Amino acid sequence: MIKTRPATEADLPQLLALYGELNPEDPPLSRASVDAVWAAIAAQQGRTVLVADVEGRVAGTADCIVMPNLTRGGRSILFVENVVVAGSHRRRGVGRLLMDAAVRLGEAAECYKVQLLAADDAYVHSFYAACGFEPLAQGFRRYVEASARAASR
């Protein structure tokens, strides 16, 4: 049985393994960095890292954050990022359960929309469409170089 729930600190090793599947080119974080980032995530109001738990193993995750908003009658937006399902658990309903749980978080927070960016991949787009998401806008992003962040400190 697959259950969705908020991640806990005990899930960090399995979360890091999943993120390794999502971005295999990323170097591993030091334990001190992991602890500092997790502490910041845990302290952030409106932030929920969801996990799909299959018999005590983390099979997938979606990082959700509610952003307060001064438009749409003051209704917030729920952003979803870092959605990943372990290769060994794909096509078993894990992703859909995670997205349903994310939408429920948005509903509970009285958000007017749940928003995400998806890779330029037909399979991924069809997955999100099957979960009820519509491709309504063009996404833009600008990556910030690590050296620029370090120089500004």
Lowest-pLDDT choice from 96-100, 125-129, 143-147: 143-147
Bigger pLDDT: 43 or 121? 43
Q: What is the pLDDT of residue 146?
A: 78
Rg, C-alpha atoms of the chain: 16
Confidence of residue 120 (pLDDT cuts 50, 70, 90): confident
C-alpha 49: how far from chain center: 6
Average pLDDT, the chain: 93
The C-alpha atoms of residue 146 and residue 82 are separated, in whole angstroms, by 19
* Position 94 confidence tier, pLDDT thresholds 50, 70, 90: very high
Q: Which CATH architecture has domain 2-151?
A: 3-Layer(aba) Sandwich (3.40)
Q: What's this model's pTM, rounded to 2 decimal places?
A: 0.90
- pLDDT band for 138, please (50, 70, 90 cuts): confident
